[in-house]
């Protein structure tokens, strides 16, 4: 990861471009592979795209949730603090699969009749809520790591509490929280596979279907694993580069 | 409190009026009905033993600490829970801290431009121009694009002073600005403060630098156990302090604790 930290801008660009090229070009090399992979190349490419899409949607919503709940946990308003505590406790104390099933099965009875959530949306919501709870703890730790003196300095300069948070606290707490958030995002790539349980056709589901048709689990699951490895590596590189970018001002 | 307050020039305008300010931390009585009026252009040194309430008093003046009772009026604005008043006051009162408190994720230049751009809605170009002028004034123009960690303590404190000045405050509060510095860096910060004092800005300086207080201050306030025990001129304070506590404090300071 040395290269990524030395040239963070380029690494971020390369990881992003590489990821997109990989997703859209994936079917071409796979098509050339022998049975049972070759014929299913398009399916693998579609599955990988769904996995990445699910990760990005749930991951970015999860960061927003994490920041909101992380701030809420530090609020002076105790009902809000309790609410955020309860949310984290609930999510971290129950299995992700249960949460996915719950959203999928409970959403229709909670939401008004005319709003119908797709399977994908249910999976994205459950994953966002899940990763958001884990992010909450990281964000909270990050905020607590910002020296209180800087908050006082900002307030003394006349910045409002919101300006102080956005300009002084958030950027610095993100830098502290980023390694842990990146970890959560990499886990999310893998956790998104549980969406197969509510019939979202993501990468693991594709692998399962292809092996069910071909009865050749080894090449199919090896291919699936390699695609996951490439995706997690791309996400890790991306976040390592972002971390290096945010690190400016920390070292001499 | 019964020592003669320095009779100010009648042309001077009061800029900070503290009346019967009281503050407790739990059962600890940190400020006991403290009253003092500070006039425009005056440089006041606030001295006293550790824990006597100097920082607490300074911090109540821009509401980093809320007072329990009494009244604080800054440039005609009453300091209370009204956020509009608070914003107005914080724009007029700058503060320099013992631990500098620069924003570590921002360059020196951005540290200085942040508040003028956010609070005073200044254009970036104008804010940067102003920041550079201030950096030149504190002798750090060449450091504009560095980050705080790359500077020495003395340099960081000079940046913190420039950052406070960028808001054009009417009053500058200093809480032991040189106490966290290595001895060889104390003078560069005091030199900047001396220059400021002569430029006519109102300053309240909590300090243990008696030489500086004696030379630069127009007025000395001695805090002890949450009350102002002496409020007088440097000449009187250093030669004929009224209270035994003040004389004991002075002899202790002279003998370097
Ligand atoms: N936030 C706080 N909570 C509880 N007690 C506090 C708090 N801030 C200050 N105190 C107490 O109030 C008293 C006065 O503190 P203050 O910081 O004003 O003293 P000081 O005169 O500035 O001393 P020093 O020279 O050590 O800085 C001290 O005994 C301190 O322990
Ligand atoms: Mg103090």
Read off the pLDDT of residues B59-116 as tens digits, 9 standing for 90 and up.
999 999 999 999 999 998 898 888 888 888 888 899 999 999 999 999 999 999 999 9
Shortest Cα distance, chain B CAs vs residue A150, angstroms: 5
Lowest pLDDT segment from A22-31, A71-80, B37-46, B146-155: A22-31
pLDDT at B10: 60
**In angstroms, what separates the C-alpha of B223 from chain A's closest C-alpha?**
23
Query: What does pLDDT average to over chain B?
Result: 91
Tell me the pLDDT tens digit for each residue of A34-62: 888 888 888 898 999 999 999 999 999 99
Helical segments of A93-216, H only: 96-110, 119-145, 148-156, 161-164, 170-191, 203-214
pLDDT confidence band for B22 (50 / 70 / 90): very high
Interface A-B: count of C-beta contacts within 8 A: 76
CA of B193 to the centre of ligand 1 (A): 24
Contacts of A168 in chain B (CB under 8 A): 103
Nearest-angstrom CA–CA distance, B203 and B187? 18
Query: B64, A155: Cβ pair inside 8 Å?
Result: yes
Q: How far apart are CA B127 and CA B122, in angstroms?
A: 6
Q: Is B53 in the pocket of ligand 1 (CB under 6 A)?
A: yes
Searching chain A, which residue's CA lies closest to the CA of residue B173?
Answer: A156
pTM of the full predicted structure? Answer: 0.83
Q: How far apart are CA B180 and CA B176, in angstroms?
A: 8
Spacing, Cα B181 to ligand 2 middle (Å) = 15
User: Which of chain A's residues have a Cβ under 8 Å away from the Cβ of B164?
Assistant: 156-157
Is any Cβ of chain A less than 8 angstroms from the Cβ of B119? yes
Q: CA separation (Å) from B67 to A151, B24, B206?
A: 20, 8, 19
A250, pLDDT greater than 70: no
The fraction of chain A above a pLDDT of 70, given in percent, is 95
Measured at the CA of A205, the angle between CA A203 and CA A209, to 5 degrees, comes to: 120
The first and second tokens of residue B192, run together, are 């900047």
Q: What is the ipTM of this complex?
A: 0.90
CA angle B52/B57/B60 to nearest 5° reads 145
In this complex, the residue of B62, B118, B167 whose CB is nearest that of residue A163 is B118
Where does the pLDDT of residue A249 fall: very low under 50, low under 70, confident under 90, or very high at 90 and above? low
Chain B positions touching A171 (Cβ under 8 A) are 105
The reported pLDDT for the residue numbered A25 is: 80
Q: What is the separation of C-alpha A1 from the centre of its chain, rounded to a whole number of angstroms? A: 20
Taking a C-beta distance cutoff of 8 angstroms, is the pair B37, B71 a contact?
Answer: no
pLDDT range class, residue B3, cuts 50, 70, 90: very low
Which of A147, A157, A246 is the closest to B167 by Cβ?
Answer: A157
Task: Report B:48-107 residues touching A (Cβ under 8 A).
Answer: 62, 64, 87, 90-91, 93-95, 97, 99, 101-107
* Helix axes A203-214 and A217-246, enclosed angle (nearest 10): 170
The reply to whether A167 touches chain B by the CB within 8 Å rule is yes
pLDDT band (50, 70, 90) for residue B7: low
Determine which of B60, B77, B115 to mutate to test the interface with A (most A C-beta atoms within 10 Å): B115
Q: Inter-chain contact A249–B119, Cβ cutoff 8 Å?
A: no
């Amino acid at each position: 990861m040395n290269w990524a930290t030395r040239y963070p801008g380029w690494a971020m660009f390369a990881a992003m471009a590489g990821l997109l090229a990989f997703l859209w070009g994936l079917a071409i090399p796979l098509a050339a592979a022998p049975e049972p992979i070759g014929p299913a190349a398009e399916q693998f490419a579609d599955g990988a795209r769904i996995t990445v899409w699910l990760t990005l949607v749930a991951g970015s919503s999860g960061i927003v949730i994490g920041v909101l709940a992380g701030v809420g946990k530090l609020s002076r308003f105790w009902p809000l603090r309790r609410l955020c505590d309860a949310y984290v406790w609930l999510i971290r104390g129950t299995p992700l699969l249960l949460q996915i099933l719950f959203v999928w099965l409970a959403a229709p009875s909670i939401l008004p009749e005319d709003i119908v959530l797709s399977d994908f949306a249910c999976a994205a919501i459950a994953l966002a809520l899940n990763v958001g709870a884990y992010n909450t703890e990281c964000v909270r730790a990050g905020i607590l790591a910002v020296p209180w003196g800087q908050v006082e300095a900002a307030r003394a300069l006349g910045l409002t509490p919101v300006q102080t948070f956005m300009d002084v606290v958030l950027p610095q707490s993100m830098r502290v929280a980023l390694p842990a958030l990146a970890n959560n995002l990499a886990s999310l790539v893998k956790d998104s596979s549980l969406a197969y349980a509510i019939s979202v056709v993501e990468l693991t589901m594709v692998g399962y279907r292809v092996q069910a048709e071909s009865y050749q689990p080894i090449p199919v699951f090896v291919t699936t694993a390699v695609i996951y490895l490439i995706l997690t590596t791309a996400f890790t590189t991306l976040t390592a580069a972002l971390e290096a970018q945010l690190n400016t001002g920390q070292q001499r | 409190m019964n020592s003669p307050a320095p009779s100010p020039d009648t042309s001077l305008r009061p800029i900070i009026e503290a009346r019967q300010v009281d503050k407790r931390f739990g059962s600890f009585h940190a400020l006991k009905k403290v009253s003092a009026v500070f006039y425009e252009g005056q440089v006041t040194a606030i001295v006293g033993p550790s824990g006597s309430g100097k920082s607490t008093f300074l911090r109540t003046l821009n509401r980093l600490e809320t007072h329990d009772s009494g009244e604080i009026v800054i440039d005609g604005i009453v300091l209370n829970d009204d956020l509009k008043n608070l914003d107005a006051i914080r724009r007029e009162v700058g503060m320099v801290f013992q631990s500098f408190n620069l924003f570590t994720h921002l360059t020196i230049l951005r540290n200085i431009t942040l508040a003028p751009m956010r609070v005073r809605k200044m254009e970036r170009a104008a804010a940067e121009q102003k920041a550079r002028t201030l950096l030149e004034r504190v002798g750090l123009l060449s450091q504009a694009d560095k980050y705080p960690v790359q500077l020495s303590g003395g340099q960081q404190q000079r940046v913190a002073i420039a950052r406070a000045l960028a808001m054009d405050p009417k009053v500058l509060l200093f809480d032991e600005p040189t106490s966290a510095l290595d001895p060889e860096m104390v003078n560069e910060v005091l030199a900047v403060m001396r220059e400021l004092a002569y430029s006519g800005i109102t300053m309240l300086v909590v300090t243990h630098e008696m030489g500086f207080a004696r030379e630069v201050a127009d007025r000395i306030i001695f805090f002890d156990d949450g009350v102002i025990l002496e409020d007088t001129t440097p000449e009187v304070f250093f030669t004929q302090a009224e209270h035994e506590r003040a004389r004991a404090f002075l002899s202790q300071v002279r003998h370097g604790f």
